[in-house]
Amino acid sequence: MKQITIKDVAEAAGVSKATASRVLSGHPATSPEARKAVEAAAGRLGFRPNAQARSLRNTRTQTIGLLLPDVRNPFFGDLAHAVEQRARSFGYMTLFGNANENVEQQDEYIDVMLSQRVDGVIAAPQGDGGNLSQLLRSGVPVVFVDRVLDSIKVPSVSPDNSTGIHDAVKHLTARGHRRIGYIAGPQSTSTGRERLRSYKEALAATGADTDADLIFLGDFQAASGAEGARTLLDLANPPTALLAADSLMSIGAVGVCNERGIAIGTDLAFVAHDDIDAFTLINPPLTVIAHDIDAMGRLAVDMLMSVIGGGSPASHTIPGRLIVRGSTPEFEKERQS
Amino acid sequence: MKQITIKDVAEAAGVSKATASRVLSGHPATSPEARKAVEAAAGRLGFRPNAQARSLRNTRTQTIGLLLPDVRNPFFGDLAHAVEQRARSFGYMTLFGNANENVEQQDEYIDVMLSQRVDGVIAAPQGDGGNLSQLLRSGVPVVFVDRVLDSIKVPSVSPDNSTGIHDAVKHLTARGHRRIGYIAGPQSTSTGRERLRSYKEALAATGADTDADLIFLGDFQAASGAEGARTLLDLANPPTALLAADSLMSIGAVGVCNERGIAIGTDLAFVAHDDIDAFTLINPPLTVIAHDIDAMGRLAVDMLMSVIGGGSPASHTIPGRLIVRGSTPEFEKERQS
DNA sequence: CATACTCGTGGAATCGATTCCATGGAATCG
DNA sequence: CGATTCCATGGAATCGATTCCACGAGTATG
C-alpha cells in the first residue's frame, strides 16, 4: 500500500509542496484559500506526515527514551506510567527500554535510543561503564531517576532513602523490637547503599542490636528476598522484625513467611518498601516506606524538558514516608500470647 | 554537539560515503583494507547511524507498536514485558502506547505510530471506530491480543475464556456453593462478553442459582471491583462465592473484603483472574484462572512477524487453567464452623 | 508617481544513509 | 596477447518534509 506524501496532498490541493507544508505546520504566511484546499486534501487522503523525514530535517524527534531495570516491578511500572503520561502532555512519545536488570540489554537500548535520536533520556542507571558513558558524552539531555551515579553529575530525581528508614526503625524499637533484620539492595546501586547506611545509622541511634548477621545482601529481585528471609529466620537468634529494601524483595520475603506458616503481624513484624496495591491486600496489610512515585515521574519529565530547553535544573529528592499498618505489632504482645 | 555522520566516517577512513555505507551494512563487495579503515574510523568517532535517515530510504523502521489499555495492570505489564523481549530477539524495538482505557488516547497513539511508520502493531483494541479503522485500512500489519473485534478479521491471540470459568464454577459447586457472584468485565470487550457468557453457561450446566442479581457489570478497573463486591455482599441473600473477571477487579474486591473483615477462604470463597504474584501472598493464597501470559506475548510477536513477512497466520487461543489454592473452601465447612 | 515594504508562493537545497550506475583496474579465458 | 568478466569504488539520485531564497502582486509612504 502506497503511503500518501505531502506531494500528493499538494497536487490534490493544486499548490506546491512548500505551501502545503506551511499550511500543515501552521506557518502564518498562508492564504485562507490555500489553507482550506490543503486541509481538505489532507483530510480526504488521510495524510500522515512521515516522522522520519520530518525529524531528519529538524533535529527534533519529539521522543524521549525511558530506560528502566524492569517494567514488571510494580514500582517501575507505576513510574513508567507517570513518565509516559507527563511526557504525553508535552507532546512527546516515550520509547521504553527494559534493561531486565542487565547491563548488556541496557547497552543495547542506549544504542538504539541514540540511533533513534531521542531528544532526551530518563534512566535508572545500572553500572557506570559501557554505553552509559557514551550516552553522557553524546550530549543528549539525560536525567537520572531513582538511582544516581556518584561519579557523574547529571540532574536527578531520587527517593529520600533516609527519613523513611529512620522512622521505620524508630517505630519498630518503640514497639519493643531490638533485633531487626534487614534485606538490603545491591551495593552497586546508590539506592541500595544509602538505604543500608540509613539502616545502620538508625540502629545506632536507637540502640537496637547491630549484629552483622542481621543484614542480608539481596539484589532487588523477588528470589533474593525469599533467600534473605530464609537466611535471617534460620539464625540461631532470629530477628523479631524484618525490613526489606524494595517491593520485589518484600514479595519474596512475605512468600517465605506464608510458606513457613509464620504469621506476619503476629509472629513477626514486617516493613516493606513502596506503597504497592498488593501490600494492602495482605492480611494484615503491610506497613511500608512509601515515596510518591507519580511525583517522581512527573518531576523527572519536567526536569528533562528543562534540560532540553537549555536549563540545568537542580536535583530533587522525593520525601519518604512511613505508613503504619497492621504488620508491625508490639513485640511484648507477641511474647505474652 | 555535532552528530557524527557517515560522511565524517568516510573522510576519516579516506573512502567515499558509498563504500563506508557498504562496509557498515555488511555488503560483501568491500575490500579488506576499506573494511578495516572504515571500521576503525567508525569506532574511533563513535559513529551511530541515524535511524531516521536510514528508514527514510528503506521503508523498514525495525520498530513495532504495542497498544495496551494500561501498563499498571499486572496482566498487561507482564504482556508488555513478554512482547518486548520477544520483539527484541527479532531485532525490533517496541514503541509502547498506554491508552489508559481511553479511546481518545488510543487514537492519539495510533496516530503517532502511523507517523512513526512502525512496521507493525500489536493491540488490545478498545471500541472499533476512530483511528482504529484507519490503522486497519492503512495496510500496516496488525495483530490483536487479549481482545478481539468481531467486525474485523485480523489475526489474534486471545485467552480461552470458557474452560477456566467452567472449571471454576464446577469446582465451586462441587464444594457446595450454589450462589456464585460474578463481577463481570465491560460488555464492550470480547473478553468481557465471552467470560460472562461462559459463567452463565456454567451455572446452567451445574444447576447453581442464576439470579440476575448475582451479576455485577464492572469495567476491568480496581474501583469497579470494589463496588461490585460491595453490591453483591449487600444482597439480601448474598453469594457464598465470588468470581471476578480480571486481576484489577479482583484486587478491588479483595480490598473490600478486608475492609469489612470478611475472611476470604473462611467466610467467602473467591476466584480471581490471572496468576499474579500478589495473589499468592494473600493469606490464604487465591484460587485463580490463569493464562500463560508469556506465551500470549511471544505468539503475538511471532504472528506479527509472519504478517510482516507476507503470511496470514491463523488466530490462536491460549488455554485457561484453574489453579486451586486456599481461597475456595467447602461451603459445608463454613456452616459447621 | 516612484520607492519601499509586506505577503503569499513556488523552486531548489537540505537533512543522512542507501543504492543504482558507470568506471577503471585486475583477473581469467580462449 | 586481446577480450571478457569480476569486483571494489565513487558520483549521483533517492526517500519525504522543511525552509531559504527569489519573485511578483499588492499596499503604503514620501
H/E run at residue B204: helix B190-206
Q: Write down the pLDDT at residue A332.
A: 53
CB A195 within 8 A of CB A147: no
What distances in angstroms separate CA B92 from CA B61, B63, B66, B73, one per listed residue? 8, 5, 12, 24
* Percent of chain B's residues with pLDDT above 70: 97
Would the CB atoms of A52 and B116 count as touching at under 8 Å?
Answer: yes
Would the CB atoms of A280 and B255 count as touching at under 8 Å?
Answer: yes
* B46, B98, B117 ranked by CB distance to A52: nearest: B117
Partners of B49 on chain A (C-beta within 8 Å) are 115
Q: Write down the pLDDT at residue A17.
A: 94
**Average pLDDT in the B221-247 region?**
96
Task: Share the mean pLDDT of chain B.
Answer: 92
Closest CA to B272 of B213, B328, B209: B328
**At B256, is the pLDDT very low, low, confident or very high (cuts 50, 70, 90)?**
very high
Rg (C-alpha) for chain B, rounded Å, is 26
C-alpha cell at A259: 510458606
Q: Write down the pLDDT at residue A131.
A: 87
Classify residue A268 by its DSSP letter. B
Closest CA of chain A from B223, distance in Å: 12
Full set of structural domains in chain A with CATH: 6-49 (1.10.260.40), 63-159+294-318 (3.40.50.2300), 163-291+322-336 (3.40.50.2300)
CA–CA separation, A125 and A300 (whole Å): 14
Q: SS3 for B230-274, per residue?
A: HHHHCCCCCCCEEEECCHHHHHHHHHHHHHHCCCECCCEEEEEEC
CB B55 within 8 A of CB B119: no
Partners of A251 on chain B (C-beta within 8 Å) are 277-278, 281
pLDDT above 50 (res B128): yes
Interatomic distance A30 CA / C7 C1' (Å): 9
Question: Looking at this protein, which amino acid is placed at residue B94?
Answer: T
Tell me the β-bridge partners of A217: A184
Closest CA to B70 of B217, B201, B189, B230: B189
Partners of B53 on chain A (C-beta within 8 Å) are 52, 56
**Average pLDDT in the B47-58 region?**
94
Q: What is the pLDDT along chain A (337 residues), one digit of tens a residue?
A: 578 999 999 999 999 999 999 999 988 888 999 999 999 999 999 999 999 999 999 989 999 999 999 888 899 999 999 999 999 999 998 888 888 878 888 999 999 999 999 999 999 998 777 889 889 988 899 999 999 998 888 999 999 999 999 999 999 999 999 999 999 999 999 999 999 999 999 999 999 999 999 999 999 999 999 999 999 999 999 999 999 999 999 999 999 999 899 999 999 999 999 998 889 888 889 999 999 999 999 999 999 999 999 999 999 999 999 999 999 987 654 444 3
A-B contacts (CB, under 8 Å):
135
CB B296 within 8 A of CB B83: no
- Nearest-by-CA chain B residue for A52: B52
For an interface test with A, the pick among B52, B108, B262, B279 (most A C-beta atoms closer than 10 Å) comes out as B52
pLDDT above 90 (res B199): yes
CB B183 within 8 A of CB B225: yes
Q: Which tens digits make up the pLDDT trace of B289-316?
A: 999 999 999 999 999 999 999 999 999 9
Interatomic distance A20 CA / C4 C1' (Å): 30
Q: Chain C positions under 7 Å from a protein CB?
A: 7-12, 14-20
Q: Write down the pLDDT at residue B331.
A: 65
Would the CB atoms of B46 and A95 count as touching at under 8 Å?
Answer: no
Q: Write down the pLDDT at residue B129.
A: 76
Q: Write down the pLDDT at residue B38.
A: 94
Q: Write down the pLDDT at residue A185.
A: 96
CA–CA separation, A324 and A290 (whole Å): 10
Question: Looking at this protein, which amino acid is placed at residue A168?
Answer: A
Partners of A53 on chain B (C-beta within 8 Å) are 52, 56
CA–CA separation, A21 and A38 (whole Å): 9
CA–CA separation, B318 and B299 (whole Å): 10
Rg (C-alpha) for chain A, rounded Å, is 26
